[in-house]
Amino acid sequence: MHPFVGFGEAGRGEKGAGRDNESVNDSSTGWAASGLAWLTGFADGPPDHSRAAVATRAESLAARLSAAWRLRVDAGCLLTGRAALRGLHRAGRTSAGGATRLLPTADGWCALTLSRPDDIGAVPALVEADDVPTDPWTTVTEWARTHASDAVLERAVLLDLPVARLGETAPGPPRNTPLGPASSPRAAAGLLVADLTSMWAGPLCGQLMASAGATVVKVESPHRPDGTRAGDRLFYDWINQGKLSYAIDFDRDAARLKALLAAADVVIEGSRPGALARRGLSPHALAGPPGRVWVRITGHGADSPRVAFGDDAAVAGGLVGASGTGPVFCGDAIADPLTGLETAVAVSDSLSRGGGELIEVVMSQVAATYAALPAEPAGGCEAAPPQPPPPAPPAAGLGDDNARVDALVAQKGVAPC
């Protein structure tokens, strides 16, 4: 069994496909036991159970994926595994990971993420001040309070900051469009997957495919590798274990990258608009094998220049917890793992139809889909802390598998050109 398959093996019981229907439908129990309640609400207050239906839908999808790909997937572990590994706890209007804040505005609420050095550097321009304290949040909070939500959104987007207005995005399923000839129905086992994504949502989809027996190639630029490599190593290993590492310059080595994408049965990417197209690497410009599935994951849609992270994307979709004084963050960057799970199910469904499709998944729309589920009373049963996933072996070092990947591509009869 692939080490990532045993999500239910770390003291969690048999979740996912192994639970009976009564357990799967008990949303309050599933929400509390998963660790999601532990991560939702104020740190000094009770856990919030208002989004318990999220756990029910996620467990249902995990069961579908378990049956289709012969896995045992614990949805609760997918949604709370990072928090468990990092020892995170609910923090009200500060995200569990600490980088995002829910900010009251003159007419509502916005979420802003300051996780990158460039984000911090853009704060003076955001608030139009020359002198901003080392901890900018007090200044940003006071500035947002005097501006309308649309004005906060517009100025932050102009500065390329991850930002969201609460509930700005409507629900929407993955969008499937024909891309090429179909093949016979397939599962994930034995497929070649090129994963160009980083962080959490896309890599989680790739990891689920690796767990199901696919050969997953994690593609990174040696000049700008996945940022999580430099972060929590336990989380990086958990999400990227078992993948081959292919480090390649997207410009100087475009021919080799083009060969990999042309050979891949599934491509997962989350590039900015035009980033692949101008290199001749778009799904419409690049031929592939029959039944190829091309997956595009974005924060706010393929036509939007906006960046997004899991917490601000969740707020855009309205997926927040409840309190007597306004919204609080729900879970830990919850739009990321929900999108990873939803994407994996969409890929499985496409492969069962024979593929030949482009699948576009928008994180904020995924969050809005879950936000539209019926809300529960804010109270509920006791909340258990999230339990860590089974220990993961180290993920491959950057570029460790370049020669092996080139050989796999050559075996498929595709040569760089």
Q: Kindly state whether residues 219 and 360 are assigned to the same domain.
A: yes
Q: Kindly state whether residues 148 and 211 are assigned to the same domain.
A: no
Q: Kindly state whether residues 189 and 63 are assigned to the same domain.
A: yes
Phi–psi pair at 63, nearest 5 degrees: -65, -40
Provide the pLDDT for residue 205.
Answer: 98
Q: Kindly state whether residues 249 and 374 are assigned to the same domain.
A: yes
- Under 8 Å between Cβ of 269 and 276: yes
Provide the pLDDT for residue 416.
Answer: 79
Last residue of a domain, one of 140, 165, 190: 165
Per-residue pLDDT at 77 exceeds 80: yes
| Residue 9 maps to a domain | no
Q: Kindly state whether residues 131 and 180 are assigned to the same domain.
A: no
Per-residue pLDDT at 6 exceeds 70: no
| Residue 224 maps to a domain | yes
| Residue 85 maps to a domain | yes
Last residue of a domain, one of 143, 165, 187: 165
User: How far is the C-alpha of 175 from the C-alpha of 315, rounded, in Å?
Assistant: 21
User: How far is the C-alpha of 203 from the C-alpha of 210, rounded, in Å?
Assistant: 10
Burial of 335 (0-12, 13-18, 19+ CB in 10 A): buried
Provide the pLDDT for residue 360.
Answer: 97
DSSP 192: E
| Residue 17 maps to a domain | no
pLDDT in tens, 301-313: 988 989 999 999 9
Q: Kindly state whether residues 255 and 108 are assigned to the same domain.
A: no
Count the Cβ atoms, other than its own, within 10 Å of residue 302. 16
| Residue 339 maps to a domain | yes
User: How far is the C-alpha of 340 from the C-alpha of 335, rounded, in Å?
Assistant: 9
Of 71-80, 165-174, 235-244, 269-278, the one with minimum mean pLDDT is 269-278
Provide the pLDDT for residue 131.
Answer: 81
| Residue 10 maps to a domain | no
Letter string b/e over residues 314-332, b meaning 16 or more CB atoms within 10 A of that residue's CB: bbbbbbbbbbeeebbbbbb
Which residues have CB under 8 Å from 301's CB, separation 6+?
360, 362, 365
Q: Kindly state whether residues 215 and 252 are assigned to the same domain.
A: yes
Which token pair is 174? Answer: 């993955």
Report the mean per-residue pLDDT for the chain: 90
Q: Kindly state whether residues 304 and 364 are assigned to the same domain.
A: yes
Per-residue pLDDT at 93 exceeds 90: yes
Model confidence at 378, pLDDT cuts 50, 70, 90, reads: low
Per-residue pLDDT at 287 exceeds 60: yes
Model confidence at 278, pLDDT cuts 50, 70, 90, reads: confident
| Residue 271 maps to a domain | yes
Provide the pLDDT for residue 311.
Answer: 98
Q: Kindly state whether residues 325 and 263 are assigned to the same domain.
A: yes
Per-residue pLDDT at 15 exceeds 80: no
Taking CA atoms, 105 is separated from 94, 152, 155, in Å, by 16, 8, 13
Q: Kindly state whether residues 149 and 212 are assigned to the same domain.
A: no
User: How far is the C-alpha of 378 from the C-alpha of 319, rounded, in Å?
Assistant: 14
Q: What is the dihedral of CA 60, 350, 81, 366, to 10 degrees?
A: -80
Count the Cβ atoms, other than its own, within 10 Å of residue 29. 16
Domain that holds residue 262: 36-91+170-414
Residue for token pair 């029959």: 290
Q: What end-to-end distance do the CA atoms of the chain give, in Å?
A: 38
Provide the pLDDT for residue 21.
Answer: 37
| Residue 12 maps to a domain | no
Model confidence at 417, pLDDT cuts 50, 70, 90, reads: low
Q: Which residue has the higher pLDDT, 125 or 133?
A: 125
Q: Kindly state whether residues 158 and 178 are assigned to the same domain.
A: no
Provide the pLDDT for residue 8.
Answer: 34
| Domains of the chain: total | 2
Q: Mean pLDDT, to the nearest integer, of 240-265?
A: 94
Provide the pLDDT for residue 273.
Answer: 65
What length does the chain have? 417
Q: Given the DSSP bridges, would you call strands 192-195 and 266-269 parallel, antiparallel or unpaired?
A: parallel
Whole-model pTM?
0.93
Provide the pLDDT for residue 26.
Answer: 59
User: How far is the C-alpha of 20 from the C-alpha of 369, rounded, in Å?
Assistant: 25
Percent of the chain, pLDDT > 70? 92
Q: Which residue has the higher pLDDT, 9 or 134?
A: 134
Per-residue pLDDT at 18 exceeds 90: no
Q: Mean pLDDT, to the nearest integer, of 130-155?
A: 93
Q: Report DSSP letters for 249-260, one per residue.
A: -TTTTHHHHHHH
Q: Mean pLDDT, to the nearest integer, of 183-210?
A: 97
Per-residue pLDDT at 380 exceeds 70: no
CATH of the domain at 231: 3.40.50.10540
Per-residue pLDDT at 232 exceeds 90: no
Q: Mean pLDDT, to the nearest integer, of 88-109?
A: 97
Per-residue pLDDT at 29 exceeds 50: yes
Q: Kindly state whether residues 345 and 238 are assigned to the same domain.
A: yes
Percent of the chain, pLDDT > 90? 79
Last residue of a domain, one of 150, 165, 180: 165
Provide the pLDDT for residue 271.
Answer: 81
Provide the pLDDT for residue 335.
Answer: 98
The set of long-range contacts for 300-304, using a CB threshold of 8 Å and a minimum separation of 24, is: 300/169, 300/362, 300/363, 300/364, 301/360, 301/362, 301/365, 302/273, 302/360, 303/273, 304/273
